[in-house]
Chains A and B, each alone.
Chain A
Amino acid sequence: MRLMMRLTNWWNHQSKVDRRLLVGILSVAFLISAVSSWSIFEAQSRERERVFQAISSAVFERLELTIDSWIAQGESGRDLIQISDGISGQRYWLFSQHLIESYPVMKAVDYMPRVLDSDRADYEREQSLELGIEYSIREFDENGNLVTAGQRAEYYPASDARLRGWDIATDPNIGQILDPTRGHHDPAGAIYPFSARSR
């Protein structure tokens, strides 16, 4: 308050010319500080943008590298089936365990044979004998329980013990991934991104 009074007093004692000079110099001071702070802010923003782009590129590259390795592993599973005549689900499971241990981001690697409806009964009987359980190809009902699957032209039952017998073609997302493999008899490798919403 006292300072304000002193300043006011001082201002009143200045001549008109001095007041104009003071206002002019202060305006230039304000302009200089505004321009310099804007330049510094811009330079800071550009630098942050550059760092952000570098970080993002690194993130994208790491994601692509990891996903490429998934695909390579999926293809190695496909090749294993292709070169070994009649590999069993149990042997493929042993192979998949090695992959999951080596690549912890993988949730599951599974062998899903294509079973035509005409072969379903034989396949279920073989699996029941091999596993020593009452085996059937299954699907999820409205309540999320695995129940015996209805009749379809073909089935892709999971071998993984957690979802044994589940026909993955009944999942609307995975079913679409399988579409390109249906036209031929060669084994195919597919990678499916499971989210928290997926089963």
Chain B
Amino acid sequence: MGITALVDQATMDSQEFVAVQIESIVGGQPTIIYSHELNHADNPSLNRTIEIQDTEWNVATTMLVGVPGRWPDQFPAIVSISIFLASALVAFTTSTIISQRREALAQADEVR
């Protein structure tokens, strides 16, 4: 119980989405009183200062990879590959059709 229970309660439905760090400042001296294992230092983070009488808490949340987007994570890659393949197919088909028509025209000229 204590700080861990407090953070568990605050993140009860979002533990896989955000990491929390709490730093208390007593007499100008910062002390980390709670911190998740953070392997995502470069991820976006947000800060809020909470005043507890004469103590200040700096609470920071860091985004974890589990935060859901509009689509599944593989979606951009799948769409990108699909569009490229479709465009490439169109390119080959167009090029082949134009090439065949040109050959046909050339043959017709020869026959004439």
Enumerate chain A interface residues (CB-CB to B < 8 A). Answer: 14-15, 18, 21-22, 25-26, 28-30, 32-34, 36-37, 40-41, 43-45, 47-49, 51-53, 55-56, 58-60, 62-64, 66-67, 70-71, 104-107, 173, 176-177, 179-180, 189-195, 197
Please state if B14 and A58 are interface contacts (CB–CB under 8 Å). Answer: yes
> A161 to nearest B CB, angstroms?
17
When distances are taken between beta carbons in the complex, the residues of chain B under 8 Å from A176 are 26-27, 54
> A111 to nearest B CB, angstroms?
17
Please state if B76 and A41 are interface contacts (CB–CB under 8 Å). Answer: yes
Enumerate chain B interface residues (CB-CB to A < 8 A). Answer: 1-3, 5-7, 9-11, 14, 17-18, 20, 22, 24, 26-27, 29, 31-34, 44, 46, 48, 50, 52-55, 57, 59, 61, 63, 67-71, 73, 75-77, 79-81, 83-84, 87-88, 90-92, 94-95, 98-99, 102
Closest residue of chain A to B99 (Cβ to Cβ) is A18
A37 to B3, CA, bound (A): 43
When distances are taken between beta carbons in the complex, the residues of chain B under 8 Å from A64 are 50
Given A40-B79, A59-B14, A33:B99 Cβ within 8 A = no
Closest residue of chain A to B43 (Cβ to Cβ) is A52
When distances are taken between beta carbons in the complex, the residues of chain B under 8 Å from A14 are 95, 99
When distances are taken between beta carbons in the complex, the residues of chain A under 8 Å from B77 are 37
Instruction: Give how many A-B residue pairs fall within 8 Å (CB-CB).
Output: 170
The 9 closest A-B pairs by CB, nearest first: A29-B87, A37-B80, A25-B91, A195-B33, A33-B84, A176-B27, A62-B10, A56-B61, A44-B69
When distances are taken between beta carbons in the complex, the residues of chain A under 8 Å from B53 are 71, 177, 189-191
Please state if B52 and A191 are interface contacts (CB–CB under 8 Å). Answer: yes
Please state if B17 and A107 are interface contacts (CB–CB under 8 Å). Answer: no
Closest residue of chain A to B5 (Cβ to Cβ) is A105
Please state if B99 and A55 are interface contacts (CB–CB under 8 Å). Answer: no
Q: Is the interface of A mostly helix, strand, loop or mixed?
A: helix
Closest residue of chain B to A188 (Cβ to Cβ) is B53
A105 to B75, CA, bound (A): 42
Please state if B1 and A105 are interface contacts (CB–CB under 8 Å). Answer: yes
Closest residue of chain B to A26 (Cβ to Cβ) is B91
29 contacts between A and B (CB under 8 A): A21-B98, A22-B91, A29-B90, A32-B83, A33-B84, A36-B79, A37-B79, A44-B70, A47-B70, A48-B69, A52-B17, A52-B67, A59-B14, A59-B18, A59-B20, A60-B46, A60-B48, A60-B61, A63-B59, A64-B50, A66-B10, A67-B50, A107-B2, A177-B54, A180-B54, A190-B53, A191-B55, A192-B55, A195-B34
